[in-house]
Amino acid sequence: MGLTPLLEIPEDINRYARYNIRIFYKPEYLNAGGSGKARAVSFMLYYYRELGLLDRVKRITTAGFGNFIRSVVALLPSVKAGVVPVAYMADVLINENRDLVNYLSSKGVVINGCADNRCPTGNMEKGKAIANAHIEAETDLDESTLFLDQHGIFKPFDGLLNAAGYHYSLAPEILYQTEESSDLYYVNGEGTRGSLLGVAAALKKRPNTEILALRQEEGGHLFGLRSLTELGKSDSLGEVESLCGDVYEVPDKEAFHTMHQLWEAGIPATPSGGGYIAGALRKAVELRKANKEGTIVTLIFDSLDFYKNILSAWIPRVLGQALDIDAFETLRKTAWSERKEHISRLMAGENELFKAMLT
């Protein structure tokens, strides 16, 4: 898990690189399960295991759009065998992404649909999926079900564990990899707010650092970013945003267009990855207008593994063109191969970043 490289966006996408405004990204799709969620899941599972709270657990329930449960599936067998994962997922995702549903089912995941289509959310009125998972966990009297509340709504401490997974793994990597940079700008989506809070709390201790938050526009389809309505107005949202210098709203068209640019450069970005880079490019424009230099760091958070159905439906609607299946499959296979190699080197103790940070 973790220890991903820091890679630079090519100059034909970031035309401000010539002015010493450089944009880097962490390829989080290299993690087990195909996304940065592995950082949070590994921390949460480790914590519960070390306290002996997994001893009697037979099921783990959670709610989300897919990346969290994929990480649970990838990491759980090495923590405790024989536990059944139970996922609460929005009907919109189940209907649009049968490949993901079929994959999870093949791994023994029990999937429950949520008709509110806002799973998950910090808005208590619309977070029915989270409520369902919570109720099921609470009514299991023999304590054989563990509910992992990555959003921290019903179990606030789980929300802190979620953030801690990024605070103690992703943040130190970024600090090490940018230690020679003067002015640092970090761009992160709001989502469940775990990665944003965990990394921002660490980076804010470093001088000359600004945090930029991302959310999608209302009605967007970036699957990884949330709109303000989906996030829900809450004290926690306000507290997290208080760490940020600005909050950018990213429309579908900007994110999907940037994703296509990244594809042409051989970078396997998803729609949310396109949104993250679009936010970084927006900050680059601001720096250039202010005649400033700086290093901008962001993430490509998840993999293309199960996006074919979604992109086949939404690229024509957003960009007015068909999905290039050949290009998609080439990038998907490349990312899968890179992830396999990355995990293999981690397991063998041959990760270069790990060795460098140790010394």
Average pLDDT over residues 321-334: 96
pLDDT tens for residues 273-326?
999 999 999 999 999 999 999 999 999 999 999 999 989 999 999 999 999 999
Please say whether the beta carbons of 302 and 36 come within 8 A: yes
Cβ count within 10 A of residue 254 = 21
> Residue 123: pLDDT band by 50, 70, 90 thresholds?
low
pLDDT tens for residues 206-244?
999 999 999 888 777 777 777 666 666 555 667 788 889
pLDDT, the chain, mean: 89
Report the 3 state secondary structure along 3-35: CCCCEECCCCCCCCHHHCEEEEEEEHHHCHHHE
- Cα 98 to Cα 272: distance, rounded to the nearest angstrom: 19
In degrees rounded to 5, what are phi and psi of residue 91? -55, -35
Q: What are the distances in angstroms from CA 209 to CA 91, 184, 202, 214, 239?
A: 40, 5, 10, 17, 18
Predicted pLDDT of residue 122: 52
Cβ count within 10 A of residue 344 = 11
Within 183-297, residue ranges assigned H as helices are: 194-203, 228-231, 235-241, 252-264, 271-289
Q: What angle do CA 187, 192, 196 make, to 5 degrees?
A: 30
Average pLDDT over residues 135-151: 76
Asked if pLDDT for residue 197 goes beyond 60, the answer is: yes
| Nearest of 229, 219, 39 to residue 122 by alpha carbon | 229
| Nearest of 139, 145, 70 to residue 107 by alpha carbon | 70
Within the chain, residue ranges assigned H as helices are: 37-50, 67-79, 91-96, 98-106, 128-138, 156-167, 170-177, 194-203, 228-231, 235-241, 252-264, 271-289, 308-319, 325-347, 352-358
Please say whether the beta carbons of 221 and 185 come within 8 A: no
Asked if pLDDT for residue 161 goes beyond 70, the answer is: yes
Q: What are the distances in angstroms from CA 99 to CA 112, 201, 211, 278, 340?
A: 16, 36, 35, 27, 20
Which DSSP state fits 302? Answer: B
- Please report, as a single letter, which amino acid is at residue 67: N
- Comparing 19-33, 152-166, 199-213, 231-245, the range with the smallest average pLDDT is 231-245
Please say whether the beta carbons of 271 and 239 come within 8 A: no
Average pLDDT over residues 2-27: 97
pLDDT tens for residues 57-90?
999 988 876 889 999 999 999 899 999 999 888 7
Predicted pLDDT of residue 14: 97
Predicted pLDDT of residue 98: 86
Average pLDDT over residues 136-164: 81
pLDDT tens for residues 84-108?
999 888 777 788 888 899 999 999 9
Asked if pLDDT for residue 124 goes beyond 90, the answer is: no
Residues contacting 117, CB < 8 A, separation 6+:
90, 91, 92
Hey, CA dihedral for 100, 101, 102, 104, is it positive or negative?
Answer: positive
- Cα 109 to Cα 194: distance, rounded to the nearest angstrom: 24
Say how far residue 191 (Cα) sits from the centre of its chain.
Answer: 8
Predicted pLDDT of residue 89: 81
Predicted pLDDT of residue 242: 85
Structural domains for the chain:
7-35+164-358 (3.40.50.1100), 37-154 (3.40.50.1100)
- Cα 77 to Cα 83: distance, rounded to the nearest angstrom: 8
Predicted pLDDT of residue 264: 96
Q: What is the maximum span of the chain, computed from C-alpha positions, in angstroms?
A: 62
More confident residue, 230 or 143: 143
Asked if pLDDT for residue 121 goes beyond 90, the answer is: no
